[in-house]
Chains A and B, each alone.
Chain A
Amino acid sequence: MTRIAEFRTKLKQQKVWLLMLLPFMAHLFLFKYTPMYGNLIAFKNYSFKKGILGSPWAGWKWFEFFFNSPDLYIVLRNTVVISVLALIFTTIASIVFAILVCELRNTYMKKFVQTVSYLPHFISWVVVAGIAFTLLTIDGGTVNQLLLALHIVDKPINFLGDTNLYWPLITFLNVWKNAGYNSILYIAAIASIDKMLYESAIIDGANKWKQIIHITLPCMRPTIVILLILSLGYVLNAGLDQQFFMGNPMNVEHSQVLETYIVRYGLQQLEYSYGTAVGLFRSLVSLVFVIVANMISRKMFRMGVF
């Protein structure tokens, strides 16, 4: 059969499938791809009345503005620092937690500890912020009260307002929220290690510490490295959620990230074109990072997300 005839037959056979898919493809184009086209306004002086097509062109003006802005350095720095800190510490915490949990011998305790560890993952950052506000507040928050009672400090620490404490604070919250859930993968990796390795190590006289260093960790290495590399692809995504709620005028120097910058200037101050330009910049660079991270991962391990 000729190619076209083959195509025609297939089309006829798969009519129902393609029809089933059609509304969803329409939906995809409307809600996911049209906004991509909407990024065009990053190159225009967008005005709501004139619409996307009617607004005058502005060339690279907004991008130039962004790159010459005094905020650029701070915003980029914060975004990268917060992401990297969260990544490093969450990974370490997840690994340590996974190893310790796998060492628990009582199954009930193991189940209990694991279940509790997933808990923070399921609550939104709004709630986390609410909890943080209550516990860390400078006047009478439980944490400060505890520190005072134990004489670790002689006056309460302003966790929420001190800009220099912001990065440690947000890293802690990130670890608290995600380490437990992320440890699932590491626990699975540990569970798949051949038990014989441990047995022969014990026969050779290795103690618990040596076992962990020489068996557990090396066997986890591929998993750890892949996850690290792939996560690095998302380094510019220093979550809107966290910074939006934990950031305030007092710590803005360390809490302003690309996304909050976009919300503030692009949306709240109605600079639609500018906000879109910054957003486009972020999305494109992010995409490049993810692709590169994936390429590296594929090269090293023949594994990737796509």
Chain B
Amino acid sequence: MLISRGEKVFHFVNAILLLILSFSILYPFLHILAVSLNDGNDAMSRGVVLWPRKFSLAAYELVFKEPLLFHSAYVSVFRTVVGTLINLIGTAVIAYVLANRQLLFRRTTIFLFLFTMYFNGGLIPEFLLIRSLGLYDQMAVYLLPGLVAAMPIMIMRQFFEDLPQALLESARIDGASEFRTLMRIVIPMSTPVMATMALLYAVGHWTSWYDTYFFTRNDGKLATLQGILVKILMESEAQRMASDYSSLMESMRGESKPTSEVIRMATITITTLPVLCVYPFLQKYFVSGMTLGAVKE
């Protein structure tokens, strides 16, 4: 096929344009990384663009030694892993039951779930409920209220409905209990949708700051990485960490101490890195997930 010169120019310019765009999306992260690896005092005078001017791992040392950061990383990981697992099981059970077209009250139940996507109690009633249930500042507040979400339920239900009914029928005839059918047959056949929903829930847990900020005291016990980040950004938490560390490391003269700026950057880096490393490999899941659940006819 003959390509005109104009078209060749277009393709060339297009490619350059998109590459520049990609770089400008990546750049902020590179910058953050560079500053986090920079010497504290040097970073205060700003101007670090792409590479650390004066390399120093001090900020990361602090991260590992500062109990608040270390503990919050643990809380984040814990809630993401355990939370996602609970979410998946709950969602699968509900979706499995709702996928049966003969189910009594099926349409009402589906409506009850769907309705929550468009109307909810609002922050204050939710806050008051959490308080009165005694969930405030408990680990359960991360795991229980958000047990399942309406959209993943619907997506999974749609998927389960499309599974060959004959398979399930024969399992039941052979005497398999509902749980067995679910665990042994349905779930293994649904790995794409399970993976997609797992990703959805996991990212939700990892990036969640709302419940940490409003439903916990956001301090040592239950702060997540995101919660700490909020503190660092909105309050002078980073300052506090820097001076605590300085007094702790008083004995290490000559060693340059991390300042609030690099601590901030280091915290952002460790919060973002896991997600950055994971999401490219799960592309096909969220791409298909998006087209699956978006619009129905």
> Taking beta carbons and an 8 Å cutoff, which residues of A are in contact with B?
7, 10-11, 14, 16-18, 20-21, 24-25, 27-28, 31-39, 41, 97, 100-101, 103-106, 109, 112-120, 122-124, 126-127, 129-131, 133-135, 139-142, 145, 176, 180-181, 184-185, 188, 202, 207-208, 226-227, 230, 240-241, 245, 259, 262-263, 266-267, 272, 275-276, 279-280, 282-284, 286-287, 290-291, 302-306
* A-chain residues with CB within 8 Å of residue B102 when the two chains form the complex: 10, 14
The total of Cβ contacts below 8 Å across the A-B interface reads: 240
Cβ–Cβ < 8 Å partners of A134 in chain B: 31-32, 35, 261, 264-265
The answer to whether A119 touches B279, judged by C-beta atoms less than 8 angstroms apart, is yes
Cβ-defined contact, A25 with B297, below 8 A: no
Residue in B31, B125, B203 whose beta carbon sits within 8 Å of that of A142 in the complex? B31
Main secondary structure of the interface of B (DSSP, over half): helix
Is A240 within 8 A of B31, CB to CB? no
13 contacts between A and B (CB under 8 A): A24-B147, A31-B144, A34-B125, A34-B129, A38-B129, A39-B122, A115-B280, A116-B25, A119-B276, A126-B229, A130-B232, A276-B122, A284-B119
Instruction: Give A18 to B109 CA distance when docked, in angstroms.
Output: 11
Distance, CA A272 to CA B202, complexed state (A): 32
- Cα–Cα distance between A10 and B103 once the two chains are bound (Å): 8
Chain A residues closer than 8 Å to B22, beta-carbon distance: 112-113, 116-117
- A21 engages B97 (CB within 8 Å): yes
Q: Which of B11-45 contact A (CB under 8 A)?
A: 11, 14-15, 17-19, 21-22, 25-26, 28-29, 31-32, 35, 45
> Are A104 and B28 in contact, CB atoms less than 8 angstroms apart?
no
- Residues on the B chain within 8 Å of A34, using CB: 121, 125, 129
Q: Tell me the interface secondary structure of chain A in the complex.
A: helix
Shortest beta-carbon distance from A211 to chain B in Å: 10
Looking at B64-72, B156-164, B207-215, the stretch in contact with chain A turns out to be B207-215
- Complex Cα distance, B277 from A306, in Å, reads 35
Known: A34-B125, A35-B129, A130-B233. 4 other contacts (CB 8 A): A32-B121, A119-B279, A127-B268, A185-B291
Q: Which residue of A lies closest to B294 (CB)?
A: A185
List, in ascending order, chain B residues with CB within 8 A of A259's CB.
123
Nearest chain A CB to B264's CB is how many angstroms away?
6
Residue of B127, B145, B261, B268 touching A131 (CB-CB under 8 A) = B268
Give A259 to B120 CA distance when docked, in angstroms: 14
Chain B residues with CB below 8 A from A283, complex form: 119-120, 122
Is B243 part of the binding interface, using a Cβ–Cβ cutoff of 8 Å? no
A267 near B123: Cβ-Cβ < 8 Å: yes
Give the distance to chain B from A19, nearest Cβ to Cβ, in Å: 9
Which of the listed residues A31, A188, A267 has the most CB atoms from chain B within 10 Å of its own CB? A31
Q: Measured between alpha carbons, how far is A304 from B286 in the docked complex, in Å?
A: 21
Of B15, B109, B116, B272, the residue contacting A32 (CB under 8 A) is: B116
Chain B residues 103 to 150 lying within 8 A of chain A, measured CB to CB, are 103-104, 109, 112-114, 116, 118-129, 144-145, 147-148
Known: A126-B230, A304-B295. A280 touches B122 (CB 8 A): yes
Asked whether any CB of chain A lies closer than 8 Å to the CB of B77, the reply is no
The answer for the CA separation of A145 and B45 in the assembled complex, in Å, is: 13
- Which of B35, B119, B124, B214 has the most chain A CB within a 10 Å cutoff? B124
